[in-house]
């Protein structure tokens, strides 16, 4: 069975973008692949987090992994800091990554361009930790949203470099992102990614939003004044984004939805999308409440960390030996 690995960093509450771009695929893939899904808590602190909020978000993220349908019997689910090898290999791989490569990472460049103050070294080197997260487990595929593809490309370069310098050690993984829903946009500004770090609450739907409130956000989404429903991502990005949301949730495509709604009003389309979102959230939230009530999270994480550590420890051992870090 081929292996797949991915992670989410819950710097806030998980969003519909996380669900459509990532989580939903983890669930789809768990039957046909050996799925490893972790919570990237070390990545969260590249930007300051309130300790109480962070801790709550981590617990919620695990509960939401399960509520969205990840099954701990099939998938390995764990918290990054429970497997100490991530941080160690992250440091090692930073020694095989060039400053120029990190300087080219768009996520970091965007933050620098925004003139954000006090950017940390952790934020700069975070792609090295992400490479470690991946390479410890030799996955074949890494399912991610569009914004993360560049980091997986860098991971491939680091793996190839290390393999060439020593001997084959890491599997070179492929990024995997879906044709529909790899980049869900903000409801208030369809040129920007729907993001939990966004300032306006109206542009982003959270998986724990009240379904009626989520529907309202969809009804208030920015569209355009053409007055005609077409699947035109370039000229009608707001409308296209709404169709992409519904298409991802209902297993359709924006083009098919545009055909169905041709000649109808934007309000009707928005109601359809809003219903699809509300139904999805209701299902997830009902399971989320059950999971919290049943106190299963600690046990899931314990078992996941045990399974993950077996793989990670073996790989790190191989790496440290090859580099010559051990005294024989």
Stretch that binds ligand ATP, among 7-15, 125-133, 281-289, 297-305 (CB under 6 A): 7-15
Interface with ligand LTN, residue 6, by CB under 6 A: yes
Determine the Cα–Cα distance for residues 71 and 26; give it in Å rounded to an integer: 10
Using rule CB under 6 A, residue 207 touches ligand LTN:
no
Stretch (H or E) spanning 3: strand 3-8
Pick between residue 83 and residue 182 the one whose CB is nearest to ligand ATP. 182
Q: Quick one: which segment of 16-24, 162-170, 243-251, 292-300 binds ligand ATP (CB under 6 A)?
A: 16-24
Task: With beta carbons less than 8 A apart as the criterion, state whether 207 and 14 touch.
Answer: yes
Residue 41 sits in the site that holds ligand LTN (CB under 6 A): no
Q: Which is nearer to ligand ATP, 171 or 196 (CB)?
A: 196
Catalytic residues: 111, 193, 196
Binders of ligand ATP among residues 33 to 52 (CB under 6 A) are: none
- Candidate list 72, 127, 145, 274; residue touching ligand ATP; CB under 6 A: 145
**Residue 154 interacting with ligand LTN (CB under 6 A):** no
Q: Which tokens sit at 162?
A: 């290390």
**Per-position DSSP letters for 167-178, written without gaps between them:** SS-S---EEE--
Q: Interface with ligand ATP includes 21 (CB under 6 A)?
A: yes
Q: From the list 4, 9, 20, 170, which residue makes contact with ligand LTN (rule: CB under 6 A)?
A: 9
* CB 213, min distance to ligand LTN, A: 25
Contact residues for ligand LTN, defined by CB under 6 A: 5-9, 40, 43, 130, 133-134, 142, 144, 148, 151
């Amino acid at each position: 069975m081929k292996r797949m690995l991915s992670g989410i960093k819950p710097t806030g509450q998980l969003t519909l973008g996380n669900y459509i771009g990532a989580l939903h695929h983890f669930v789809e893939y768990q039957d046909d692949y050996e799925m490893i899904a972790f919570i990237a808590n070390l990545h969260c602190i590249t930007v300051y987090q309130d300790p109480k909020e962070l801790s709550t978000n981590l617990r919620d993220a695990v509960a939401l992994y399960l509520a969205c349908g990840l099954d701990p019997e099939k998938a390995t689910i764990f918290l990054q800091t429970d497997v100490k090898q991530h941080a160690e290999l992250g440091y090692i791989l930073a020694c095989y990554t060039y400053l120029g490569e990190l300087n080219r990472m768009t996520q970091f460049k965007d933050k620098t361009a925004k003139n954000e103050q006090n950017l940390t070294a952790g934020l700069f080197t975070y792609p090295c930790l992400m490479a470690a997260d991946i390479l410890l487990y030799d996955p074949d595929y890494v399912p991610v949203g569009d914004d993360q593809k560049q980091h997986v490309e860098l991971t491939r370069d680091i793996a190839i470099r290390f393999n060439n310098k020593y001997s084959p050690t890491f599997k070179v993984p492929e990024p995997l992102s879906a044709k529909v829903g790899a980049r869900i946009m903000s409801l208030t500004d369809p040129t920007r990614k729907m993001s939990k770090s966004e300032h306006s609450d109206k542009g982003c739907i959270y998986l724990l939003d009240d379904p009626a409130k989520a529907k309202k956000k969809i009804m208030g989404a920015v569209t355009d004044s053409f007055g005609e429903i077409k699947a035109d991502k370039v000229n009608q990005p707001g409308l296209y984004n709404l169709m992409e949301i519904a298409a991802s949730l209902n297993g359709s495509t924006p083009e098919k939805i545009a055909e169905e709604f041709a000649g109808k009003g934007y309000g009707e389309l928005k109601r359809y999308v809003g219903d699809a979102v509300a139904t999805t959230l209701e299902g997830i939230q009902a399971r989320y409440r059950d999971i919290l009530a049943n106190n299963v999270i600690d046990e899931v994480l314990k078992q996941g960390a045990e399974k993950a550590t077996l793989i990670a420890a073996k790989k790190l051992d191989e790496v440290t030996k090859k580099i010559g870090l051990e005294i024989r």
